Structure 1
Amino acid sequence: MSALPLRLFSCLTLFEFSKLCRCRSLAFPCHCHKYFSYNTNHLAVSLSRHNCSYATSYVHNCASSFRTCWSCSRLVKDLAFFCECGKVQPVSPKWSYFDVLGYPNPEPVIDVIDLGDRMRQTQKLLHPDKFSAKTQYEKDLASDASAYVNKAYSCLQKPVERYEYLLHLHGVSTDNVDFKKSDNTEFLSEVMNIREKVEEVIRDILNPSHSEKSLSELSGTVRELVSELRQRLNDEEKIIINLISRTDWTGALISLSRFKYILKVFEELREYELAWKQLGINVTTT
């Protein structure tokens, strides 16, 4: 690498380590974001001419990792809600639900307790009381950010919605999966058989006359069905997580659809949990 790109690259590194934000600390004009954008483009061209592919990528990444504060024109880290000047920033349309809650990468498995902590810590920063004396524009920005955080939390805390969102991030539609084309006719047949058992159990639960023998049999059937459906859900969820981790999006989509089929049947059975407990059947679905 020639001396010129090295010097320029060193300057950019110094610029980054100075957090790319305080105009007065650098020999740049006040609108440093425009200067920075202009010069990084020329720097990238210069580096590419000297076959510095890594450095060129570094320059572009530095430029795209920041945005400009609407109030003071300082550079703000892309995933930050606030500028160093204290002003709340608009939610970026590029932010994913994982980004907004501080996850470095989209993950299929999330600790829901940690997720809740992240949401609450973020919402503390955006609480309306902190903006009572601010301009209407700042109040609106904080409100929009808070709503987006809530939306992200609501999605990520639910496994099915989280898996669907992960697929969406990779351009995979979760609508209209054709099980016949996906060679899942055997699975559908199994689910239909389980659904028939569930419907039969529900009829028995709603039957007002139960002998001691029939209640005992019903209790055993309910216990077996709950156990079977739980196991199927656990097994299918492991498959989904594995396929997502392997970036097999088509396989993950099919597995997720199977999971949703089983979950729907399980939820139909759960609706009658209170009714069977009133009959003395001590089986829980949680």
Structure 2
Amino acid sequence: MAATALLRRARWALVDHPAVASFRWEPGRTPASSPSFAAAVVCAYLATVLLLHRRVLPLPALSPRVLRAVSALHNAVLLALSAAMATGCVLSVAATAPSRWWAFCFPPGGATAASGPVFFWAHVFYLSKVYELGDTLLILLGRRPLTLLHVYHHAVVIAMCYLWLATRQSLMPIALATNATVHVVMYGYYLCCSLGLRWPPRWKRAVTELQIVQFLFSFAASVVMLWRHFAAGGCEGMAGWVFNAVFNASLLALFLDFHGASYAAAKGKKSRSEVVKQE
């Protein structure tokens, strides 16, 4: 009974609330809905990263205690937001999808309007990626090295999320729910680290492996979408899906390279340590 009441309240807050149910993506009117906004954010991000990384712009010196507190707050916000987006998207699909295939393939033409709870959460997801750029600032403030994978991912994902909405991209609900769920785990791990709760190295590797599984799952879901596209009269937003697929393929390659290099280095270090102990 308590679970049913909790689910009912969650559905009202995340699906049936007037602000959620009445959402409509209108280019030029909805906040951040113009392509110039997305382009400006990406360009400003890349320029700022370059200037801060090259020390052209000065970085404030924060004490380790303050930096940990800021990191903990940032990760807690993204953990809660990711949980809300994942839950909201799943409940929205369950409540509003006109068919069991809708989450994979939006009907083409004018049959799919960029409105309602699912598109509300897609908009929140898009805006959350702008807030996630703070990850980079925290890395720079901590004087830790930036990787190509990190900067590339944070920059291009904003364009991807914009295209989700602008093209009414099929498969978007599944991609959103999957990514937000992975981010619950990821930011939960980061929050523990920022609070000083140290986990064994295998957990950090597990987070990376979970992200890799996410990309593999996206390709499996794309097979279902393409089958519906060619066998059932087409799916909406194919141009956006092509961009998304290429982006995911590039991220998969970068994550695999990062995983291989990091794990090989850790394994090599462990092997050298064992040799020293034996000697």
TM range (shorter): under 0.3
Could you say which structure has the higher helix fraction?
2
Higher relative contact order, structure no. (Cα contacts within 8 Å, ≥ 6 residues apart): 2
TM-score by length of 2: 0.26
TM-score by length of 1: 0.25
Task: Give the greater-gyration-radius structure (CA).
Answer: 1
